A and B are shown apart, each in its own frame.
Chain A
Amino acid sequence: KQEVTQIPAALSVPEGENLVLNCSFTDSAIYNLQWFRQDPGKGLTSLLLIQSSQREQTSGRLNASLDKSSGRSTLYIAASQPGDSATYLCAAEDLNFGNEKLTFGTGTRLTIIP
């Protein structure tokens, strides 16, 4: 059974700093790895999706990397802004066509201090 872990559970950094969020998963037989953002009281917004054949994806100030062999993914946020404050969740999708499902980590709550 896939298990996804995110450390730390919470992180506070001053505005303007670059930061890295970590995600690890136990079963490397994944179809893809996805990063989501969740604002308080809101749903999840998809940020980046990395296919298992890829090593990284970039969108604006966000860069996500994937190392299947070590069971790790990182989300890099450049030049952080107060608007980046949210909970970030990673999710691994099982490599099982016909029964695809995401297993989520418990998230990292990020606070950017102005």
Chain B
Amino acid sequence: DAGVIQSPRHEVTEMGQEVTLRCKPISGHNSLFWYRQTMMRGLELLIYFNNNVPIDDSGMPEDRFSAKMPNASFSTLKIQPSEPRDSAVYFCASSFLASGYDYGYTFGSGTRLTVV
């Protein structure tokens, strides 16, 4: 398996533009997580999907952020409009979670977003 695949690896955009980050989880995993990492705040969970359904989006900073998981093999995180304070590394992770067992998380390589 190629692991969790994120695209693009780097994104530089101007303030106000729409940004879409993409994630392909590991085949067979039923849970997908979007995290944001900054020097100031460390790793923060943005949103968590289980079986393609959003379970917890309490970490989404504001309405400018939205995430979708239309099927088990694809998810997007969209920021519209983007702001300089959104600059961070965004990680996607997937896992197989079932009652009584956790197979652990696999993280993608991340998308480094710079908003100028």
Contact = CB atoms under 8 A, between A and B. Distances in A.
B97 A100 contact: yes
Q: By DSSP majority rule, is chain B's interface helix, strand, loop, or mixed?
A: strand
Given A32-B102, A34-B104, A49-B102, A100 B31 contact: yes
B71 interface: no
Contacts of B99: 97
A43 B109 contact: yes
Contact of A93 (B42, B50, B102, B109): B102
Interface in B34-71: 42-43, 45, 48, 50, 55-56
A102 interface: yes
B104 A98 contact: no
Contact of B110 (A32, A43, A99): A43
A100 B45 CA distance: 11
A104 B45 CA distance: 9
B38 to A, nearest CB: 11
Contacts of B31: 100
Contacts of A89: 43
Contacts of A46: 104-107
25 contacts: A32-B102, A34-B104, A34-B105, A42-B109, A43-B107, A43-B110, A44-B93, A44-B107, A46-B104, A46-B105, A46-B107, A49-B102, A89-B43, A91-B43, A97-B99, A98-B50, A98-B55, A100-B31, A100-B97, A100-B102, A101-B33, A102-B45, A102-B105, A106-B42, A107-B42
